[in-house]
Structure 1
Amino acid sequence: MSLLTIGINHNTASVQLREKVAFSPDKMSDALQQLHSMPAVSGSVILSTCNRTELYVEVDAQASNDIIHWLIDFHQVNEEDIKPSLYTHTNEEATKHLMRVACGLDSLVLGEPQILGQVKQAYAQARENEAVQGNLDKLFQKAFSVAKRVRTETEIGSSAVSVAYAACTLAKHIFESLRHSRVLLVGAGETIELVAKHLSDNGCRQMTVANRTKERASGLAEQFDAQVISLSQIPTALVNADIVISSTASPLPIIGKGMVESALKSRRNKPILFIDIAVPRDIESEVSELNDAYLYTVDDLQSIIDQNIEQRRAEAVQAEKIIAIESKEFQNWLRSRKAVESIRDYRHASDTVRKELLSKSLQALSSGGDPEKVLLELSNKLTNKLIHAPTKALQEAAEKGELEDLAVLRKSLGLEDL
């Protein structure tokens, strides 16, 4: 059996094409059961995200075309459309690929951590459908441990590479803990929602959402137990805010220098961190002139992001080295498994011969045969039976001039080197 990966991702296909072969949650169980029921397949896991669809299977060596045709038939897609975008990896390359995926090295955003959770979910679904076992099961367990090692031994996931995450990271660096920080979020769009999630994940429990329409803000606030105010209430809210993060579509600034100056006086000059990730800007640039107001714009964050991307690339080099070592170790384990199977088969075959000849010898003795002759015949026949296959292999290797094979056979039989 061989380990096989067949997939399509953001590097090989457009989102329109990827959508055609994505597995929806309601079809995943049926897909796993169909795939696992194929005669050549002994184990399968399906990973399907917005950026990739990948089939990880343990199959007979020549079954890749059958798996590809199954994928095409399941989604009823045109073969000519999909085939050029598919990639295939076998054995060690399949092992490396899964490890790279789990570590975020094959992601659209290098080092992003969400993919590991998605791989674990795919594995769990395969387990629920009894579709993964044996070597494939061991491969996924190994991939999880490798991802943990990469996260522990490198800094690939520690640097912010999105505006929302960078904003949260900046706040976390300035304030030792976000648990007691009071945050004012201006806007209720997708970026602010991501900011709120990152803040919540980092312990922030005191958030207020200011938005033009309270209805949109209410839906966001409910997710994070936040308060909701209107834009006109911002001047009052600033007095209690330690951090202000703004991202709206307003064509004009919402927070001005005078508004901030007044709030700082009421706070007795206790500083406020302002992060403006809107374009055009939500916060007047003159705010940065105030002594206790610290203003960062989207350009400042982009500079941080660019530096962090370079840092992640540097960390990825170390991660690749870890994967190379771990992949080779897993392949060595697979080869050792084959040796164990061969040893078991060889012992079974030898024991079958022994039992057969012993039974005949015992029958001869019970019939009054000469014990010495019976034992001599047993030893001769047992020796001849056991050396027949090795002798034939030695002869064939010598006749064909296969000196390396001959040397291996001699070594396995305990003979001196040639």
Structure 2
Amino acid sequence: MSITILGVNHKTAPLSLREKIAFTNEIVDKALYSLYQHPLVEGCVIVSTCNRTEIYLSYEHDTDFLKLKQSVEIWLGQFHHVDIAQYQNAIYWYEGRQAVEHLMSVASGIDSMIIGEPQILGQVKTAYMQAQKNHCLSLTLEKLFQKIFHVAKTVRSETNIGANTASVAYAACLIARNLFTDTPQLNVMLVGAGETIELISRYLKPHGFNHVIVANRTREKALKLASLIDAEIISLPDIANRLKDVDIVISSTASPLPIIGKGMVERTLLARNNRKMLFIDLAVPRDVEEEINQLNHVHLYTIDDLQKTVESNLQQRSIAAKQAQYIIQEQAEQFIDWLKARQAVNFVKQYRNNAEHIKKELEYKALNAIKQGANIDEVFAEFSHKLTNKLIHAPTQTLLQAATHDCDDCFKVLSKGLGLKEH
């Protein structure tokens, strides 16, 4: 059995194309069932995220691969009701070892938009469990995905692929966590309700802060964000009065002028008895006046400060990714060796079954001849002669073909396998 991958990702196709062939949770079961009915497909798994849609397939070793590719692409187009011709420059196919290495890279976060991001491994595991639930896993895919999960764990433990901050939002949360150790006692104010603040709120949620306040120009836009993290909503003018109640302020609005000034923070510090505060300003133009850096007990980080951290850490992740490639190459070779051995075992079983069939067929004829009164010695001699001829026929023909087609390596392997010696 062999492995192949059909895929489209953020490197090969824009979002406008990717979203048309994405598999949502609501339709992935139907897609798996439909694809598994394909006569050339022995097993299938579908991974679909915002950055990629990939279909992992196993198929019989002697399958017409070109026919498989064409028919699966047609299936993909028909399932999503799209003209698959518009995807020809975006679709990639990987086969055999290349497919195995690619899946290992995906699960390890090396092929992600942000190198080393951990979410993809969970998404791959979910895809595997969905295929398992729908009984779409072949033994080959079962073994491959177990290997994949082992490799991803090894890459995480033996390299620094996920050790450093790789997004501005996560960097902001990491700074807050490092500056303050007792998060259940801390209060946070998020200024703004856009995409960046929403992403930060998702990172903040697992840390269990005491109270979160969302300050925004319009209450309606803040409602959705507040519901995600069980936050209090205030208006922007209320910030001056509520600043004394929070320890961390993270801001990202589209305001053309600063929202938080030096004087406001000075009054806040007096009201807080100079307990330290952290301001993270992700806005351009700035939401927080730069001059608050002159105040004691205040820590201010801007988008540039965080971006430098991210860029430095991405460089370290790139180094770790190269280290991970060595792990992936070694593990991929081990899996391919297992696959080859399994194919060899199947051929051996088939060869033994053929020999057993020949033996039983000749035994049946010999026993019938004896029952009808034939001479036992003559029957035994004929049985031995025919059995020998039938068993050596295929190897003999293969030897002759290897010799006549000048395939010296094939001839030597066959000769050695049959126990023959050169004279």
Q: 1:393 to 1:169 in 2, by over 3 A?
A: same
Structure 1 segment 18-417 matched on structure 2, within 5 A: 18-59=18-59, 60=63, 61-62=65-66, 63-176=68-181, 178-362=183-367, 378-416=383-421
Aligned partners of 2:194, 2:14: CA distance in 1, in Å? 26
Q: 1:15 to 1:351 in 2, by over 3 A?
A: same
Q: 1:41 to 1:252 in 2, by over 3 A?
A: same
CA deviations 1:1-47 (Å, max 9, x no partner) are 43222222222222222233333444333333332222222222233
Shift of 1:379: 4.5
SS at match of 2:7: strand
Mean CA deviation greater in 361-370 or 91-100: 361-370
SS at match of 1:239: helix
Shift of 1:353: 2.7
Aligned partners of 1:212, 1:75: CA distance in 2, in Å? 41
RMSD: 2.6
CA deviations 1:136-158 (Å, max 9, x no partner) are 33323322222222222222223
Shift of 1:277: 0.9
In the alignment, structure 1 residue 17 sits paired with structure 2 residue 22: no
Query: Contact 1:244–1:275 at 8 Å: present in 2 too?
Result: yes
Shift of 1:351: 2.0
Query: Contact 1:407–1:417 at 8 Å: present in 2 too?
Result: no
Aligned partners of 2:194, 2:367: CA distance in 1, in Å? 88
Aligned partners of 1:250, 1:404: CA distance in 2, in Å? 75
Aligned partners of 1:202, 1:414: CA distance in 2, in Å? 68
Aligned partners of 1:163, 1:55: CA distance in 2, in Å? 31
The TM-score normalised by the length of structure 2 is 0.89
How many equivalent residue pairs?
418
Mean CA deviation greater in 298-307 or 123-132: 123-132
Query: Contact 2:172–2:280 at 8 Å: present in 1 too?
Result: yes
Shift of 1:337: 0.8
Mean CA deviation greater in 345-354 or 393-402: 393-402
Amino acid at match of 2:38: M
SS at match of 2:27: helix
Aligned partners of 1:123, 1:143: CA distance in 2, in Å? 11
SS at match of 2:42: strand
CA deviations 1:218-247 (Å, max 9, x no partner) are 432232233333434434433342322112
Q: 1:214 to 1:76 in 2, by over 3 A?
A: closer
Amino acid at match of 2:140: N
Mean CA deviation greater in 13-22 or 190-199: 13-22
Shift of 1:294: 0.9
Mean CA deviation greater in 401-410 or 281-290: 401-410
Query: Contact 1:4–1:64 at 8 Å: present in 2 too?
Result: no
Aligned partners of 1:9, 1:29: CA distance in 2, in Å? 21
Shift of 1:250: 2.2
Gaps of 5+ in 1: none
SS at match of 2:285: coil
Query: Contact 2:109–2:120 at 8 Å: present in 1 too?
Result: yes
Query: Contact 1:151–1:157 at 8 Å: present in 2 too?
Result: yes
Aligned partners of 2:338, 2:305: CA distance in 1, in Å? 49
SS at match of 1:84: coil
Shift of 1:266: 3.2
Query: Contact 2:76–2:84 at 8 Å: present in 1 too?
Result: no
SS at match of 1:249: coil
Aligned partners of 1:102, 1:400: CA distance in 2, in Å? 44
The TM-score normalised by the length of structure 1 is 0.90
Aligned partners of 2:167, 2:123: CA distance in 1, in Å? 19
SS at match of 1:18: helix
Query: Contact 1:211–1:217 at 8 Å: present in 2 too?
Result: yes
Query: Contact 1:178–1:199 at 8 Å: present in 2 too?
Result: no
Shift of 1:279: 1.6
Mean CA deviation greater in 158-167 or 260-269: 260-269
Mean CA deviation greater in 94-103 or 228-237: 228-237
CA deviations 1:160-190 (Å, max 9, x no partner) are 2222111011112223453443322222222
Shift of 1:288: 0.7
